């Protein structure tokens, strides 16, 4: 259940860390990193591992735009959906590949 609140991109600003939930799929890419979110603009660094070459990538730049609607839904770029409770952001990439849930948290 969503808390009774009005959400916006400016209400979720600051420093965050992120990672994938346990996807239980060894073909999925696993990612962790840090982000700074300022009025919907996202910048950060991530490390990732995957079952194919390059197996491990470190310090990859992450940039993007976060859109949050007043009901707590939104997206993190084309082909994604997200929901927030005001403290955590959960998003899924629907553009193909193994399904996984990504979590962004302060």
pLDDT digits (tens, 9 = 90+) for 20-38: 887 667 777 888 999 999 9
Residue 7 included in any domain = no
* Dist CA 18 CA 48 (whole Å): 12
Question: Average pLDDT of the chain?
Answer: 87
**Quick check: 90 and 68 in contact, CB under 8 A?**
no
Q: How confident is the model at residue 3 (pLDDT cuts 50, 70, 90)?
A: low
Using CA atoms, how far apart are residues 12 and 40, in angstroms rounded to an integer?
Answer: 8
Residue-wise pLDDT tens digits, 36-63: 999 899 999 999 988 888 899 999 999 9
Q: Could you give the number of structural domains in the chain?
A: 1
The parent domain of residue 78 ranges over 14-105
Does residue 9 form part of some domain?
no
19 inside domain:
yes
- Indicate the SS3 state at residue 80: strand
Supply the pTM of this predicted model.
0.81
pLDDT for position 105: 94
């Amino acid at each position: 259940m969503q808390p009774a609140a009005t959400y916006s991109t400016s209400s979720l600003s600051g420093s965050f860390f992120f990672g994938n939930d346990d996807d239980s799929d060894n073909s999925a890419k696993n990612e962790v990193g840090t982000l700074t979110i300022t009025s919907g603009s996202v910048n950060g660094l991530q490390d990732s591992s995957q079952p194919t070459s390059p197996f491990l990538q470190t310090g990859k730049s992450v940039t993007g735009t976060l859109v949050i609607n007043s009901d707590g839904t939104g997206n993190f770029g084309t082909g994604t959906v997200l929901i927030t409770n005001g403290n955590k952001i959960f998003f899924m990439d629907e553009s193909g590949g193994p399904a996984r849930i990504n979590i962004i948290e302060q």
